[in-house]
């Protein structure tokens, strides 16, 4: 199937209100162009340099989401082009992104990465950490970032019950922040969960943004 065909069938099966981020990391520009021509505007990248190269080459109305682990020395080039960063995994990084966005006179949306999966990535806040570290003082000290929601990944397993439970845990962190420290922040509304193999389970648990690569572009050569 073609990229356009894959996108079309994915869009047909997505409920209304769920935003699709086309994860284009490691794929060549040619495939991004095919997706763009099929109407896709939001792309997800996980490396700063690759993001910069692709952003320079794609049409200006392309929207870039950064989804990979972000090191502090890469904050500047990412803030320069991304409209959303999904992978805020420490308060230090949150402050660094805020400072850089402020310096560059940009506003940027960020998601707090929540870690619930059994193994896998070591990145992200545990539910207890985010409750403890995201204080009202911290939230009101931010000037150029908008905390727009949370992002999380389920355990990498075939056990669908485990996957559903992980998504439910991420969802409950989202709900408790929304009703707690971020309750007067209406922009806090994005629940980014679900990838190629597990997005239907994520959507069933309330995800309103999915990040899909392989189903659209095929396997990555890395």
Ligand X SMILES: *Cc1c(COP(=O)(O)O)cnc(C)c1O
Which residues contribute to the site for ligand X (CB under 6 A)? 23, 25, 46, 67-68, 195-196, 211-214
Structure tokens at 19: 């935003």
Q: State the minimum distance, in angstroms, from the CB of residue 7 to ligand X.
A: 13
Q: How far apart are CA 137 and CA 82, in angstroms?
A: 26
Q: Angle formed by the axes of helices 29-37 and 3-13, to 10°?
A: 50
Q: State the minimum distance, in angstroms, from the CB of residue 56 to ligand X.
A: 22
Q: How far apart are CA 70 and CA 39, in angstroms?
A: 28
Which of 66, 11, 9, 2 lies closest to 33 in space, CA to CA? 2
Q: State the minimum distance, in angstroms, from the CB of residue 156 to ligand X.
A: 10
Strand segments (E) across 139-194? 145-153, 190-193
Structure tokens at 63: 């929207």
Q: State the minimum distance, in angstroms, from the CB of residue 194 to ligand X.
A: 8
Query: Toward ligand X, which CB reaches closer, 87 or 181?
Result: 87
Q: What is the bridge-based pairing of β-strands 209-212 and 108-115?
A: unpaired
| Tally of CB atoms within 10 A around 167 | 26
Q: State the minimum distance, in angstroms, from the CB of residue 210 to ligand X.
A: 8
Query: Toward ligand X, which CB reaches closer, 89 or 98?
Result: 89
Query: Toward ligand X, which CB reaches closer, 181 or 217?
Result: 217
Query: Toward ligand X, which CB reaches closer, 149 or 213?
Result: 213
Query: Toward ligand X, which CB reaches closer, 145 or 152?
Result: 152
Residue 199 C-beta-side C-alpha neighbours within 13 Å:
21
Residue with the closest Cβ to ligand X? 213
């Amino acid at each position: 199937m073609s990229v356009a065909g894959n996108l079309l069938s994915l869009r047909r099966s997505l409920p209304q209100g769920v935003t699709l981020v086309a994860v284009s990391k490691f794929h060549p520009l040619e495939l991004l162009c095919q997706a763009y021509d099929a109407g896709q505007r939001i792309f997800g990248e996980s490396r700063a340099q690759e993001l910069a190269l692709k952003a320079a080459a794609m049409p200006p109305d392309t929207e870039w989401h950064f989804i990979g682990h972000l090191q502090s020395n890469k904050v500047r080039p990412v803030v320069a082009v991304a409209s959303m960063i999904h992978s805020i995994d420490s308060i230090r990084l949150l402050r660094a992104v805020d400072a850089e966005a402020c310096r560059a006179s940009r506003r940027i949306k960020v998601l707090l990465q929540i870690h619930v999966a059994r193994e896998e990535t070591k990145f992200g806040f545990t539910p207890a950490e985010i409750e403890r570290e995201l204080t009202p003082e911290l939230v009101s000290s931010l000037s150029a970032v908008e905390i727009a929601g949370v992002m999380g990944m389920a355990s990498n397993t075939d056990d669908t019950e485990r996957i559903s439970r992980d998504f439910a845990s991420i969802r409950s962190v989202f709900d408790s922040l929304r009703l707690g420290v971020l309750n007067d922040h209406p922009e806090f509304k994005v629940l980014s969960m679900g990838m190629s193999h597990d997005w239907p389970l994520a959507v069933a648990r309330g995800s309103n943004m999915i990040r899909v690569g392989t189903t659209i572009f095929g396997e990555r050569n890395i």
